[in-house]
């Protein structure tokens, strides 16, 4: 439940600080003056109706979108205008709402790619291979095998990811993010499109990662039961704005949140 | 090389990542070694060996272009020009400073890699057709520059005479000697490329090709790796250019014009983009086809056209055939000849049991 964090000092600096960030697309304000302070080691869920700006917020943090206003700091470094690859090097990993695996590669190669920032072999060492590159390859292969074990993916390690069922691909993507040994993981609907059993597995893996490695987790999720179950805190977005924040209990009782969700529900009902 | 099989159990990760994980592959490689190193030089005369040598040089160039186009999904119409950069760099070193081949060859490669990297810079902004056109422009600019700067081209007809390489005191004069000389570089080129592709750098290339967003998010600096691909690819081109210069005995920019760039694209497309053996099949095919067509027309063409028409037809026929083949392979069989090879191989993998 994340209650292992209670003993942490309250005055510790936030792990990730998003400060008054704005991201526009033409007339649409996808992210409207949003600020967040994510504590080190917490599981933070971000919820909100479709089009609320959740994915846009993650894209801004991971460097795909350049915000028009505001700043983003991670572990004391300003990463507002850093490239995605630099942000990965700093220890932020990410999964995508619509899965972005390397389809023509095996599960193993996808995870080996996840080790990229930890490997050193340059062009010459790779060309020669025997020696430094091979040693490195084998050392990182061992790390990858550990992750495969951890996520119960050993049996499919040699399969091409394009051949895997949807739920498995989501798990492989989590594995690739984990291979980076990130300090912060941004997960965009990791349980989206899954059946109940797969969701439970994924929720367990997310919690395990958080507890075993102390990884800070920012999670976008639509399934309220899962959100309330595993989050330490919840941020609610609606139409680009932050409308509520707090513990799962607080957020659930917040009238603005109920309104946003009921409103969306009414519209969906009316449209149907 | 890059396939695995059940029933052959690996006992270590090292065995699992070996270049040739299956016993069959190793037997095949040994067989190929015997054929190429012993049988061919015994059965062919000077003319046969000179064609084999053309193929070997083409293999080196094609492996390089395959790294850029097949594995990283960038395009280049400047491969011929990068060869000429290597060729003239080496010829100048050899003629003016009396450098041995083992300096001239890597130096030609490095020089070509430098120019190739510069030409690759637009790839950070543009792709596809636009990149094709900037590399085409580079091809023409390099051709023009070499032809018009006597300090590079040696002045008279832009030609520099290149003395044959000398290895351990032996001056290589015969085609069979050149053959073994070239074979060393072909083997280094092939093994090196296979090594690149199975390790960190090559995986990053393939990642950029398959999913550039995901590649960035796992920390691959796309700009840097695209330039690596250009550098490596044009290094290979440069080395091929030097080898060709040793083979011909002259450096001459007319040997490296746009049609050469297109021939190399034809090789890797026909051979199979992004496959380890594709460039080899493509180089053999594209080198042999015009020779066979010419043979055929010279033998039988006299029956249906006069000699002058024939002489005019052969070069354009060559381009027409390559053009159609490129279209055929791009549309019908994107995996190229390599796929044909896989079918044959798969048949023999279980041979003599066909289940
Ligand atoms: N690249 C883009 N170009 C134009 N508009 C965009 C872009 N990305 C997002 N938007 C717009 O920004 C708004 C927020 O979209 P976003 O994808 O961030 O929502 P979300 O909360 O992730 O929704 P969902 O729950 O459906 O995934 C939407 O109106 C969307 O159309
Ligand atoms: Mg979204």
Task: Note down the domain range covering A38.
Answer: 1-91+183-272
Of the partner residues A100, A119, A123, the one whose CB lies closest to the CB of residue B211: A100
* Tokens matching residue B275: 């496959």
Across chain B, mean pLDDT equals 90
- The answer to whether residue A124 is domain-embedded is yes
Residue B200: is its pLDDT beyond 80?
yes
* CB atoms near residue B293 (< 10 Å): 16
Same domain, A5 and A129: no
Q: Is A58 an 8 Å CB contact of chain B?
A: no
Tens of pLDDT along A212-266? 999 999 999 999 999 999 999 999 999 999 999 999 999 999 998 888 886 655 5
The pLDDT value recorded for residue B1 is 41
Same domain, A198 and A140: no
For residue B5, what pLDDT band results from cuts at 50, 70 and 90? low
Name which of A168-177, B28-37, B232-241, B267-276 the model is least confident about: B28-37
| For residues B206-222, average pLDDT | 96
Domain boundary (A150, A181, A212) is at A181
Q: Is A96 an 8 Å CB contact of chain B?
A: yes
Q: Is A133 an 8 Å CB contact of chain B?
A: yes
A82 vs B7, which has greater pLDDT? Answer: A82
- List residues bridging with B160 in a β-sheet: B251
Question: A53, A99, A193, A260: which to mutate for ligand 1, most atoms within 8 A of CB?
Answer: A53
| For residues A95-121, average pLDDT | 96
Same domain, A80 and A187: yes
The pLDDT value recorded for residue A269 is 39
This model of the complex carries an ipTM of 0.90
Q: How far apart are the C-alpha atoms of B37 and B70, rounded to whole Å?
A: 28
Same domain, A111 and A84: no
- The answer to whether residue A222 is domain-embedded is yes
Same domain, A267 and A221: yes
In chain B, what are the domains? 47-350 (1.10.3470)
The pLDDT value recorded for residue B37 is 85
Residue A270: is its pLDDT beyond 60?
no
CB-based contact B214 A114, cutoff 8 Å: no
Of the partner residues B198, B210, B219, the one whose CB lies closest to the CB of residue A116: B219
Tens of pLDDT along B291-335? 888 888 878 777 777 777 777 777 788 888 888 888 888 888 888
Same domain, A140 and A177: yes
The pLDDT value recorded for residue A37 is 97
Residue whose C-alpha is closest to residue B274's, from B225, B205, B221: B205
- List residues bridging with A31 in a β-sheet: A23
A119 contact residues in B (CB cutoff 8 A): 200
Q: How far apart are the C-alpha atoms of B194 and A158, rounded to whole Å?
A: 19
Q: Which of B188, B200, B208 to mutate to test the interface with A (most CBs of A within 10 A)?
A: B200
| For residues B219-228, average pLDDT | 97
Q: How far apart are the C-alpha atoms of A91 and A86, rounded to whole Å?
A: 9
């Amino acid at each position: 439940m994340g209650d292992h964090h209670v003993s942490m000092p309250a005055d510790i600096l936030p792990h990730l600080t998003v400060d008054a960030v704005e991201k526009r697309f033409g007339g649409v304000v996808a992210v409207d003056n949003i600020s967040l302070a994510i504590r080190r080691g917490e599981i933070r869920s971000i919820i909100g109706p479709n089009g609320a700006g959740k994915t846009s917020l993650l894209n801004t943090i991971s460097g795909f979108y350049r915000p028009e206003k505001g700043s983003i700091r991670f572990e004391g470094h300003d990463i507002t205008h850093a490239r995605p690859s630099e942000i990965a090097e700093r220890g932020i990993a990410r999964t995508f709402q619509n899965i972005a695996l390397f389809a023509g590669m095996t599960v193993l190669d996808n995870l080996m790619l996840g080790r990229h920032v930890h490997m050193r072999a340059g062009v010459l060492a790779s060309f020669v291979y025997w020696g430094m590159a091979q040693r490195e390859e084998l050392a990182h292969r061992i790390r990858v095998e550990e992750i495969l074990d951890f996520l119960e993916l050993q049996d499919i390690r040699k399969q091409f990811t394009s051949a895997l069922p949807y739920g498995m691909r989501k798990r492989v993507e989590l594995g690739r993010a984990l291979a980076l040994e990130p300090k912060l993981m941004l997960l965009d609907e990791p349980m989206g499109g899954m059946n109940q059993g797969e969701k439970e597995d994924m929720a367990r893996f997310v919690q395990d990662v958080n507890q075993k490695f102390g990884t800070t987790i920012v999670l976008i999720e639509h399934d309220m039961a899962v959100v309330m179950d595993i989050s330490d805190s919840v941020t609610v977005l609606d139409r680009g704005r932050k409308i509520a924040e707090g513990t799962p209990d607080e957020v659930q009782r917040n009238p603005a949140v109920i309104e946003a969700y009921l409103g969306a529900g009414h519209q969906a009902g009316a449209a149907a | 090389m890059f396939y695995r099989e059940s029933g052959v159990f690996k006992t270590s990760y090292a065995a699992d990542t070996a270049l040739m994980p299956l016993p069959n592959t190793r037997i095949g490689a040994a067989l190929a070694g015997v054929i190429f190193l012993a049988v061919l030089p015994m059965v062919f005369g000077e003319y046969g060996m000179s064609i084999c040598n053309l193929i070997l040089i083409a293999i080196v160039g094609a492996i390089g272009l395959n790294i850029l186009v097949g594995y990283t999904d960038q395009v280049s119409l400047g491969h011929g020009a990068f060869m000429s950069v290597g060729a003239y760099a080496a010829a100048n070193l050899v003629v003016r400073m009396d450098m041995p081949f083992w300096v001239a060859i890597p130096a030609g490669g490095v020089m070509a890699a430098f120019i190739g990297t510069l030409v690759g810079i637009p790839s950070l902004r543009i792709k596809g057709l636009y990149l094709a056109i900037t590399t085409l422009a580079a091809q023409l600019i390099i051709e023009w520059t070499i032809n018009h700067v006597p300090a590079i081209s040696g002045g008279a007809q832009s030609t520099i005479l290149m003395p044959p390489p000398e290895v351990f005191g032996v001056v290589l004069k015969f085609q069979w000697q050149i053959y073994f000389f070239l074979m060393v570089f072909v083997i280094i080129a092939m093994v090196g490329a296979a090594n690149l592709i199975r390790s960190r750098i090559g995986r990053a290339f393939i990642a950029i090709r398959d999913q550039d967003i995901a590649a960035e998010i796992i920390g691959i600096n796309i700009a840097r790796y695209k330039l690596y691909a250009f550098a490596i690819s044009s290094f290979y081109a440069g080395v091929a250019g030097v080898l060709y210069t040793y083979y011909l005995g002259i450096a001459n920019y007319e040997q490296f014009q746009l049609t050469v760039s297109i021939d190399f694209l034809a090789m890797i497309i026909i051979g199979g983009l992004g496959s380890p053996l594709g460039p080899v099949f493509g180089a053999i095919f594209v080198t042999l086809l015009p020779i066979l067509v010419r043979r055929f027309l010279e033998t039988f063409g006299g029956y249906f056209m006069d000699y002058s028409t024939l002489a005019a037809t052969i070069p354009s026929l060559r381009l027409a055939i390559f053009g159609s083949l490129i279209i055929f392979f791009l549309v019908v069989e994107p995996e190229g000849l390599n796929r044909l090879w896989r079918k044959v191989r798969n048949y023999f993998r279980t041979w003599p049991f066909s289940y």
